[in-house]
Amino acid sequence: MKILVMGHKGMLGSDLMDVLGRGHEVTGVDVGEFDITSGTDCARVVREFRPEAVVNAAAYTDVDGCETHRDACFAVNADGVRNVAEACRAAGAKAVHYSTDYVFDGTKGDPYLEEDPCRPINAYGESKRRGEEALVETLERHVLIRTAWLYGRQGKNFVKAILAKARDEGTLRVVDDQVGSPTFTLDLAQATKLLIERDCLGTYHVTNRGVCSWYDFARRILEYAQVAGVTVVPIPSSELDRKARRPAYSVLSNRKFMEATQKTMRPWQVALNDYLTGQSHIHR
Ligand SMILES: NC(=O)c1ccc[n+]([C@@H]2O[C@H](COP(=O)([O-])OP(=O)(O)OC[C@H]3O[C@@H](n4cnc5c(N)ncnc54)[C@H](OP(=O)(O)O)[C@@H]3O)[C@@H](O)[C@H]2O)c1
């Protein structure tokens, strides 16, 4: 299949290139080659490559930055998605797009299902919800994948931040009142490939399996990376001075994905250990 990956230099986009490139004809575009906020650019790159599927991993992902740069954030995460969907509709292509646990308010207490009501509590979540609506309204042949707490080999992420801080400081203070499911971008890219190959359409929640707090996650990162002599102190979110509020409960149910693909996602601890020990390999 011919697949165009938008945002191919990003954390998820770079793994999508590797994973989808095994078995498919894949090309990628990113900043410099196109601007997702331009309808003309989106139409041009889709027309030039003539893909059967467009996978959009381009986004404005600075959650705190979205609070102060609302226009830029909505231009990419909401209007940009409409541009992609319109370009796909004109070209007869399917669109695969990513959204986030931050479309929910985090008060549910058990895993969020695809049809649960969305009530974002920050600008990033609002912009991603608007993008979801634009996709669903514009293009019937879409796959909308909500995911959470990503880390990967490319770019900045929580795992790299904890390891860097541990090198410089003897004590780390990490929030323990937000829970979610850490997810390796390589695993998400493989799940995406499955959904495309099985021709699944609609909305799916996809994360690694299991639940932890950021505090638990930090401790496990240090344990698997064999970093000794660093103390991790649990703190409430209220002690962190961040612009955007975060949902307290960010767990997404993978049940629909499992029923559609007959596959389960790996437990987050297994994926993290693979990532940290460099064992991660691409499953064919
Ligand atoms: N990271 C997470 O924890 C997380 C959690 C849930 C959902 N998601 C979603 O998962 C998807 C992938 O996230 P990610 O963390 O892999 O993102 P990322 O690393 O920030 O990559 C996004 C890519 O999009 C590019 N981009 C930004 N503005 C653009 C524009 N105007 N035109 C074209 N390209 C543009 C970025 O380029 P520059 O770097 O040059 O700006 C970057 O290469 C996103 O939809 C995100 O919302 C992420």
User: HEC states along 93-159?
Assistant: CEEEEEEEHHHCCCCCCCCECCCCCCCCCCHHHHHHHHHHHHHHHHCCCEEEEEECCEECCCCCCHH
**Cα gap 92→196, rounded to integer Å:** 15
pTM: 0.97
Taking the centre of ligand 1 as the mean of its atom positions, its distance from the CA of residue 67, in whole angstroms, is 16
**Cα gap 255→241, rounded to integer Å:** 35
Residue-range domain boundaries for the chain: 2-156+183-209+250-266
Question: Does 35 sit in the ligand 1 pocket, CB within 6 Å?
Answer: yes
Q: Whose CA is nearest to atom 21 of ligand 1?
A: 10
CA 65 to chain centroid, in Å, comes to 17
Confidence at residue 283, expressed as pLDDT on a 0 to 100 scale:
42
Confidence at residue 87, expressed as pLDDT on a 0 to 100 scale:
98
Q: What is the CATH number of domain 2-156+183-209+250-266?
A: 3.40.50.720
Confidence at residue 279, expressed as pLDDT on a 0 to 100 scale:
61
Taking the centre of ligand 1 as the mean of its atom positions, its distance from the CA of residue 233, in whole angstroms, is 30
Question: Does 103 sit in the ligand 1 pocket, CB within 6 Å?
Answer: no
Q: Whose CA is nearest to atom 11 of ligand 1?
A: 57
3-state secondary structure the chain: CEEEEECCCCHHHHHHHHHHHCCCEEEEECCCCCCCCCHHHHHHHHHHHCCCEEEECCCCCCHHHHHHCHHHHHHHHHHHHHHHHHHHHHHCCEEEEEEEHHHCCCCCCCCECCCCCCCCCCHHHHHHHHHHHHHHHHCCCEEEEEECCEECCCCCCHHHHHHHHHHHCCEEEEECCCEECCEEHHHHHHHHHHHHHCCCCEEEECCCECCEEHHHHHHHHHHHCCCCCCEEEEECHHHCCCCCCCCCECCECCHHHHHHHCCCCCEHHHHHHHHHHCCCCCCC
Confidence at residue 139, expressed as pLDDT on a 0 to 100 scale:
98
Question: Does 232 sit in the ligand 1 pocket, CB within 6 Å?
Answer: no
Nearest atom (ligand 1) to Cα of 13: 16
Q: Which of 4, 5, 12 to mutate to test the pocket of ligand 1 (most atoms within 8 A of CB)?
A: 12
- Per-residue pLDDT tens listing for the chain (284 residues): 999 999 999 999 999 999 999 999 999 999 999 999 999 999 999 999 999 999 999 999 999 999 999 999 999 999 999 999 999 999 999 999 999 999 999 999 999 999 999 999 999 999 999 999 999 999 999 999 999 999 999 999 999 999 999 999 989 999 999 999 999 999 999 999 999 999 999 999 999 999 999 999 999 999 999 999 999 999 999 999 899 999 999 999 999 999 999 999 999 999 999 999 986 554 43
The residues annotated as belonging to the active site are: 124
Question: Does 41 sit in the ligand 1 pocket, CB within 6 Å?
Answer: no
**Cα gap 276→158, rounded to integer Å:** 13
Confidence at residue 241, expressed as pLDDT on a 0 to 100 scale:
87
Question: Does 100 sit in the ligand 1 pocket, CB within 6 Å?
Answer: yes
Confidence at residue 280, expressed as pLDDT on a 0 to 100 scale:
59
Question: Does 147 sit in the ligand 1 pocket, CB within 6 Å?
Answer: yes
Single-letter amino acid, residue 195: L
Nearest atom (ligand 1) to Cα of 152: 16
Nearest atom (ligand 1) to Cα of 102: 6
Question: Does 214 sit in the ligand 1 pocket, CB within 6 Å?
Answer: no
**Cα gap 214→158, rounded to integer Å:** 9
